[in-house]
Amino acid sequence: MSKKGVSAEEKRTRLLQLFYEKGECFQLKELEKIAPKEKGIVAGSVKEVLQNLVENGLVDTDKIGTSIYYWAFPSKAFTLRKNQMQKLKQNTEETINKLKAMEDALQAVKNTNDDNSYANILEELNDKEMELSALKNQLKHYEENDPVKFKEMLDKTEELKNAANRWTDNVFAVKSWCKKKFLMEDAVLNKQFGISDEFDYVD
């Protein structure tokens, strides 16, 4: 039964969990039946939530024959969030360094009593402070990937590995089904799904 007041972020999280837990490919109509029962997501909002996940690279999609299928790798979301966190930290460090340089320049201008230069640097300094504040807010948004939380995520590596291998089982099963259903060659299926020739179970 669906619940009222579920936020958009919570819907995305729940739908993504559904992919990880099932380890299968789905069509939209299938998700619209399963998601309300198992994850409390209103059927009418499944398409919008799914599209958001696709746009953010967390869910993959492709057309096979006349049908569109959706799937998600547990490890992909983990890697994506890790990269986002690293990029945000790098941007923050760069902004902090720029801010420090501006503060040094500001102090130098104060010492020369150059009012015009002081005003210009003060304005730029304020801009950098706003940029830093925005980056810190972004970091807060990804706080689940901070050093402490990140360790907790690493502790769940085994769980993610099992989920990934369960997905691998299903990939091979779906490929086998597609070969029979659509008479498609293995190489064509790999290209359709974006699967490399080295695709295999996670050790």
CATH number at residue 12: 1.10.10.10
pLDDT value for 201: 62
Range of the domain at 173: 8-74+156-193
Q: Are residues 32 and 12 in the same domain?
A: yes
pLDDT at site 150: 47
Compute φ and ψ for 65, nearest 5 degrees.
65, -120
Q: Are residues 187 and 142 in the same domain?
A: no
Four-residue CA torsion sign, 141, 145, 149, 152 = positive
Q: Where are the beta strands (DSSP E) in 39-158?
A: 60-64, 67-71
User: How many structural domains is the chain composed of?
Assistant: 2
As a whole number of angstroms, the distance between CA 166 and CA 160 comes to 10
Say yes or no: 88 and 148 in one domain. yes
Cβ count near 118 (within 10 Å)? 16
* 161 within domain boundaries: yes
pTM for this entry: 0.43
Tell me, yes or no, whether 203 lies in a domain.
Answer: no
Q: What is the pLDDT of residue 77?
A: 65
- What whole-number distance in Å separates Cα of residue 15 and Cα of residue 6? 12
Residue type at 125 in one-letter notation: L
As to burial, measured by CB atoms within 10 angstroms (0-12 exposed, 13-18 middle, 19+ buried), residue 89 is middle
Residues 6+ apart with CB under 8 A from 113: none
Angle between helices 147-155 and 74-112 (to 10 degrees): 170
CB-facing half-sphere around the CA of 172: CA atoms within 13 A: 9
| Residue with token string 């210009």 | 120
Domain assignment present for 1: no
Give me the pLDDT at residue 111, please: 59
Q: In the prediction, which pLDDT does 118 show?
A: 45
Q: What is the mean pLDDT of each run of 10 residues along the chain (203 residues)?
A: 69 89 88 93 93 88 88 73 72 71 58 52 57 60 53 50 60 69 72 67 59
140: tokens are 């807060």
Please report whether residue 200 resides in a domain: no
